[in-house]
Structure 1
Amino acid sequence: MQVKTAIITGAAQGIGKAIAFQLAKDGFHTIICDLNEEKLVTAKQELKDQGFNCSTYVVDVSRRDEVFQMVDDVVNNHGGLDVMVANAGIVQVKPLIDITEEDLDRMFKVNVYGTLYSIQAAAKQMMKQKYGKIINASSTSGKRAVELLGHYAATKFAVIALTQAAAKELAPFGITVNAYCPGIVGTSMWEEIDRQMAAYLNVPVGETFKNKVDSIPLGRVEKPEDVAGLVSYLASEKADYMTGQAIVIDGGNVFS
């Protein structure tokens, strides 16, 4: 029986690494991808220490040729592609009036172009198979924008639009496309958001993060494993009839 394969971008740390571990536990051969080769090596060793085999690729998702080459390599080496998790993303804290052309280019090339290239490359193979699951990283910021994260939120709104359009276009080929929308997750990304907001708002480091966590109805910070559990479901046969959805997982915060 052929082992199913799953590609996870931005998988060297944080949410992406948690997703890679969860899908490995679910029986997938995971292909973990990131720009940070050193952290990829560490993540691969951690998976190996727990008895899981995986492959690694150093890839810049903002470069279309690199994404397509990675998928071609995976298909050639493993015979197919079952799941693509377009998790890679970046964030920047900045008032809208200060955002530069360079800021926009970088944010959109990683978060939007990278997601689109991942969808395209995966779909190219999955359309041949007549099966596959594409799972994209959005955010609660893709549902409700907040101050100082306007251009980041714009990219996450865009990811939801791409998810909905791809779901309709790829449904005839047996491919589902969904997105996950995390909230305040205890990762290095939120540590960076907190540091940047502290500087802009002239408050102590840690105060913004604490205030955000205190507002969560379930009473605790979100863990990467919480997000990984949702992705595990979306990657499974249990979610075969779900497509075009952008699912919020944030402890109830976005609607509180």
Structure 2
Amino acid sequence: MVLARSLGAALVTGASQGIGKAVAMRLAFDGYKVALNDLAHKREQLEAIAEDIDQKFGSGTFVIPADVSQEEQVKQMISSTSKALDGLDVVVANAGIVGLLKPITDISMKEWDQIHQVNTRGVFMCYKWAAREMIARGSRGRIIGASSNVGKQGVPNAAAYVSSKFGIRGLTQSAALELGKYGITVNAYAPGPIETPMLKDILDDPSTLPKVESLGLKSEIGQPEDIASIVSYLASKEAHYITGQTICVNGGMYFD
């Protein structure tokens, strides 16, 4: 076990696998006490990651299942994390879903709303309640959200997902302008194709194969740790002069 110096407390949503898990592990390595969030049925996965973090880094963990599309649960998640870890310095609103890949003419309102409930509404509520907690505590915190490469350049057959990720860019810019006076920075990361269970589900579904090329998935696929490294930097003191940005991490498949 490596005992890391304490840099404060961080919360990562969607932390049971993929990018969220990698971000949580990296922040623990950096020296943060880490709260791990995902849906309630993923508690065992979260507890296994927490145990791994405690054994490797001894930095302290807190498991807090919650549905980020439900405001009362987000409010309680932020409050409980802050109490359990004696503060809240970094919030990474990572949780998101892709939904079905289909033409805009075939997307139902139920499918549209489901994606925006998690990807846009969920990130907004994490930003909102994280900001309230940080302001109340006088924390010069870091709020970081999940956009996407397709949140900067649209692709066909994913209109709901694309629009939800475009929305994160605007939300991040507005929040950064509002919260700067409190010393809080707000940024987002925009991954290209990353080797995660979510991507594997897309590639393994025969119905998606005709649409995969339009998403740029034939380009080089990155690793979750590639995203974790930029989150680590955005959470650091060195990034205090960066805010309102959505940073591409995509192996050069698209240049901002």
Q: Provide the TM-score with structure 1 as the length reference.
A: 0.90
Letter in 2 for 1:77: A
Write the distance in 2 (CA, Å) between the matches of 1:2 and 1:229: 18
Give the structure 1 partner of residue 226 of structure 2: 226
SS at 1:58's partner residue? Answer: coil
Give the structure 1 partner of residue 11 of structure 2: 7
Write the distance in 2 (CA, Å) between the matches of 1:201 and 1:78: 44
Give the structure 2 partner of residue 169 of structure 1: 178
SS at 1:131's partner residue? Answer: coil
Give the structure 1 partner of residue 68 of structure 2: 61
1:255 shift after superposition: 3.0
Write the distance in 2 (CA, Å) between the matches of 1:214 and 1:63: 35
Q: Which digits, 9 at most, give the CA deviation of each residue in 1:133-181, with x for residues without a partner?
A: 1000000010011111111010000011100000001011110000000
Write the distance in 1 (CA, Å) between the matches of 2:209 and 2:199: 16
Cα 1:225/1:2, change in 2 over 3 Å: closer
Write the distance in 2 (CA, Å) between the matches of 1:201 and 1:51: 41
Give the structure 1 partner of residue 25 of structure 2: 21
Write the distance in 2 (CA, Å) between the matches of 1:167 and 1:188: 31
Letter in 2 for 1:26: D
Give the structure 1 partner of residue 34 of structure 2: 30
SS at 1:184's partner residue? Answer: coil
Q: Provide the TM-score with structure 2 as the length reference.
A: 0.90
Which deviates more, 80-89 or 38-47?
Answer: 38-47
2:81 to 74, 80, 83: 74
Give the structure 1 partner of residue 252 of structure 2: 252
Q: Which digits, 9 at most, give the CA deviation of each residue in 1:60-87, with x for residues without a partner?
A: 0000101111111122223311000000
Q: How does 1:40-59 map to 2 (within 5 A)?
A: 40-52=46-58, 53-59=60-66
8 A contact 2:6–2:33 mirrored in 1: no
1:46 shift after superposition: 2.3
Write the distance in 2 (CA, Å) between the matches of 1:202 and 1:90: 20
Write the distance in 2 (CA, Å) between the matches of 1:85 and 1:61: 12
Letter in 2 for 1:15: I
8 A contact 1:13–1:43 mirrored in 2: no
Q: How does 1:198-237 map to 2 (within 5 A)?
A: 198-201=206-209, 208=212, 212=216, 214-215=218-219, 220-237=220-237
Q: How does 1:94-109 map to 2 (within 5 A)?
A: 94-109=102-117
Give the structure 2 partner of residue 147 of structure 1: 156
* Coordinate RMSD, CA, aligned: 1.9
Q: How does 1:184-195 map to 2 (within 5 A)?
A: 184-195=193-204
SS at 1:241's partner residue? Answer: coil
Q: Which digits, 9 at most, give the CA deviation of each residue in 1:92-151, with x for residues without a partner?
A: 222211111110111011001100110011000111214111000000010011111111
8 A contact 2:89–2:139 mirrored in 1: no
Q: Which digits, 9 at most, give the CA deviation of each residue in 1:21-47, with x for residues without a partner?
A: 000010000001000212212222222
Which deviates more, 34-43 or 111-120?
Answer: 34-43
1:3 shift after superposition: 4.9
State the 4+ residue runs in structure 1 displaced beyond 6 angstroms: none
Write the distance in 2 (CA, Å) between the matches of 1:91 and 1:9: 16
Cα 1:241/1:77, change in 2 over 3 Å: same
Q: Which digits, 9 at most, give the CA deviation of each residue in 1:190-229, with x for residues without a partner?
A: 1122234x414559xxxx47x94553xxxx4200000000
Structure 2 runs not aligned, ≥5 long: none
